[in-house]
């Protein structure tokens, strides 16, 4: 649901189709100047993220323009050290806060018309507050994810953030519908924000899954290019999950898994590295015993 417009040094600039609908809505509602100021402010906000990320050695893979903001996706954000990730995430809000300060100072000095300065200040303040919401992939959500990852496992953090984004998105939509029903009017700002939050939460999970898939593909290519493959043998209990098995993959060795039945400690079979990775990508929490049962049924 996005169109690739152009590419800048390996970074794809994409447009979500709903952005065009939003521009038509803004034109009909008579608020097109505010929208253009918002788009310019968002471009500077995301440009600060992209420039900081590139300086830290990881240029963004994609920037998607949506009706209520833009989303920058890195190839592997988790590869950056926590301090560098924090600096990269704070670069955008700092630039937005700087634009608020410039609008205020220029208006007070008389260099900017009061109406224009007020519009620029309020627009960037709204962007700042929205961007600091604790939902993915907004900066507030990514900062919260960085903090939570210090205390919880990655898959637990992803479930928590997706649930939080869903709750906040539905709350925004419900609040807008209640205000419309209670006081009238056709202001759909909160509804659009809620839809964007719901979309962002689901896309963030999908993006992480694609990053994991790329990681396994890179591993396969690296092992194939190494020539002769040194092997590693790992004995695992059939009660373990696919996620636990994937963590046992030897970094520079082809890994074979010997299945051990708990209690009797009997050897019940063997799984290849490809079988474990394929099962993990389909059902991460599936147990080895369930996988073996399916294979026996298939035979």
DSSP-derived pairing of the beta strands 69-73 and 231-237: unpaired
Residue 251 has a pLDDT of 72
77 band by pLDDT with thresholds 50, 70 and 90: low
What average pLDDT does range 73-97 have in this prediction?
79
Q: Burial level of 56, CB count in 10 A (0-12/13-18/19+)? A: middle
pTM for the whole structure: 0.60
> 223-251: string of b/e by CB count within 10 Å (b at 16+)?
beeeeeeeeeebebebebbbebbbeebee
Q: pLDDT (tens digit, 9 = 90+) per residue, 202-260? A: 666 555 565 666 667 767 777 777 667 788 888 888 888 888 888 888 777 888 888 88
289 band by pLDDT with thresholds 50, 70 and 90: confident
Residue 296 has a pLDDT of 47
Q: Which residues pair with 7 in a beta bridge?
A: 12
Q: What is the DSSP string of 149-161?
A: TTTS-HHHHHHHH
Q: Which residues contact 44 (CB under 8 A, 6 or more apart)?
A: 95, 96, 99
Q: Which residues pair with 111 in a beta bridge?
A: none
Torsion on CA atoms 38, 142, 62, 155, rounded to nearest 10: -150
Cα(252)–Cα(250) distance, integer angstroms: 6
Cα(201)–Cα(165) distance, integer angstroms: 5
Q: How is the chain split into domains, by residue range?
A: 1-132, 143-225, 227-298
Higher pLDDT, 25 or 206: 25
Neighbour tally for 61: CB within 10 Å: 19
């Amino acid at each position: 649901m996005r169109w690739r417009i152009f590419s800048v040094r390996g970074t794809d600039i994409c447009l979500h189709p709903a952005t065009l609908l939003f521009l038509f809505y803004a034109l009909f509602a008579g608020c097109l100047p505010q929208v253009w100021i918002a788009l310019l402010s968002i471009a500077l906000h995301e440009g600060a993220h992209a420039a900081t990320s590139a300086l830290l050695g990881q240029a963004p893979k994609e920037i998607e323009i949506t009706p209520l903001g833009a989303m920058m996706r890195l190839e592997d954000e988790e590869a950056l050290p926590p301090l560098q990730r924090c600096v990269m995430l704070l670069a955008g809000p700092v630039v937005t806060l700087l634009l608020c300060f410039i609008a205020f100072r220029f208006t007070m000095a008389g260099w900017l018309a009061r109406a224009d300065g007020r519009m620029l200040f309020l627009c960037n303040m709204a962007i700042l507050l929205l961007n600091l919401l604790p939902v993915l992939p907004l900066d507030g959500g990514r900062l919260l994810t960085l903090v939570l990852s210090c205390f919880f496992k990655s898959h637990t953090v992803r479930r928590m953030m997706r649930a939080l984004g869903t709750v906040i998105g539905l709350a925004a939509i419900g609040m807008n519908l209640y205000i419309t029903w209670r006081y009238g009017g056709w202001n759909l700002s909160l509804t659009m924000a809620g839809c964007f939050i719901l979309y962002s939460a689901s896309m963030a999970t999908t993006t992480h899954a694609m990053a994991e898939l790329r990681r396994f593909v890179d591993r396969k290519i690296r092992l194939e290019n190494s020539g002769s493959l040194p092997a590693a043998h790992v004995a695992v209990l059939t009660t373990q999950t696919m996620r636990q098995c994937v963590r046992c993959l030897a970094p520079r060795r082809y890994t074979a898994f010997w299945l051990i039945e708990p209690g009797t400690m009997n050897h019940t079979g063997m799984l290849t590295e490809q079988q474990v990775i394929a099962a993990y990508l389909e059902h991460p929490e599936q147990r080895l015993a369930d996988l073996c049962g399916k294979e026996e049924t298939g035979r």
